[in-house]
């Protein structure tokens, strides 16, 4: 089975985000990956729930919303109401990861946990029954265009073994390109987040197909 491709709109033209999302939809994107940064958990600022809500009408593809926010719980309902289909949160962004995942699931959407490069996969052990997606960061979060951290491959493989037969997607974000996509899939990744690899030329379909 081929991997899913989730283009990150962090690399899109922010002056025409709606058009960009429609183009990604037509190009065959599986998810639309939306990076939300608060200038606190990561040293950058992006968008809030109002923008997510405004973009929702541009596509029926799932919105894969990656919250780089701390504390995160208070913002989860707003992003769900805005149209998020998957909400992923960092293990370090909440004191009570189990409770935060219950909050997301209770609002009727899929829940994900994000692991930074230095975050051990052991944090997942007691919440696997509440997780729909695990996002492995293969760069440090906060900025696009960073180089892939090779140790992510072994981490993905270990998480794949942890997940076993559970229907949990394993997503990877950071430095994803056509050069490493096959290795990531072989390690166990099922969803690839790509920014510059998709937006590097105007032919989004060709770039997505190359990753797949």
Query: Per-residue pLDDT averaged across 61-69, rounded?
Result: 97
33-61, pLDDT tens digit by residue? 999 999 888 888 899 999 999 999 999 99
115-160, pLDDT tens digit by residue? 999 999 999 999 999 999 999 999 988 766 678 899 999 999 999 9
Would you state the pLDDT for residue 1?
62
Beta strands 32-37; 63-68: pairing state: parallel
**Pairwise CA distance, residues 112 & 12, whole Å:** 23
Would you state the pLDDT for residue 7?
98
Give percent of the chain with pLDDT exceeding 70: 98
Q: Which residues contact 113 (CB under 8 A, 6 or more apart)?
A: 88, 89, 90, 91, 97, 101, 123, 124, 127, 131, 133, 134, 135
Would you state the pLDDT for residue 147?
83
* Top CATH class, 4-211: alpha beta
Q: Which of 38, 85, 173, 203 is catalytic?
A: 173
Burial of 50 per CB tally in 10 Å (0-12, 13-18, 19+): exposed
CA distances to 23, 90, 96, 112 from 17, rounded to whole Å, are: 10, 25, 34, 24
155-209, pLDDT tens digit by residue? 999 999 999 999 999 999 999 999 999 999 999 999 999 999 999 999 999 999 9
Would you state the pLDDT for residue 44?
85
Structure pTM?
0.95
Q: Which of 25, 30, 35, 85 is catalytic?
A: 35
Would you state the pLDDT for residue 196?
92
DSSP state of 148: P
CA-atom Rg of the chain in angstroms: 16
Q: What angle do CA 212, 115, 22 make, to 5 degrees?
A: 40
Q: Does residue 62 have a pLDDT over 80? A: yes
Q: Does residue 16 have a pLDDT over 70? A: yes
Would you state the pLDDT for residue 121?
97
Which H helix or E strand runs over 137?
strand 133-137
Would you state the pLDDT for residue 87?
98
Would you state the pLDDT for residue 156?
98
**Pairwise CA distance, residues 79 & 155, whole Å:** 29
CA dihedral sign of residues 103, 192, 134, 95: negative
**Dihedral Cα 90, 88, 131, 56, nearest 10 deg:** 170
83-126, pLDDT tens digit by residue? 999 999 999 999 999 999 999 999 999 999 999 999 999 999 99
Give yes or no: 173 in active site: yes
């Amino acid at each position: 089975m081929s991997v899913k491709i989730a283009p990150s709109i962090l690399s899109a033209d922010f002056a025409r985000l709606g058009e960009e999302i429609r183009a990604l939809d037509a190009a065959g994107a599986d998810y639309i990956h939306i990076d939300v940064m608060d200038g606190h958990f990561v040293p950058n600022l992006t968008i809030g729930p109002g923008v997510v809500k405004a973009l929702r009408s541009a596509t029926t593809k799932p919105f894969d919303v990656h919250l780089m926010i701390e504390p995160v719980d208070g913002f989860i309902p707003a992003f769900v109401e805005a149209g998020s289909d998957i909400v992923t949160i960092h293990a370090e962004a909440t004191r009570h990861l189990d409770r935060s995942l219950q909050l997301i699931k209770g609002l009727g959407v899929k829940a994900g946990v994000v692991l930074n490069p230095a975050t051990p996969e052991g944090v997942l052990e007691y919440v696997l029954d509440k997780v729909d997606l695990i996002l492995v960061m293969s760069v440090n979060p906060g900025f696009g265009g960073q180089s892939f951290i090779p140790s992510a491959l072994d981490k993905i493989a270990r998480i794949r073994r942890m997940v076993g037969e559970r229907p949990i997607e394993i997503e990877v974000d950071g430095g994803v390109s056509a050069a490493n996509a096959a290795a990531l899939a072989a390690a166990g990744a099922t969803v690839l987040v790509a920014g510059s690899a998709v937006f590097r030329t105007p032919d989004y379909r060709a770039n997505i197909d190359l990753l797949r």
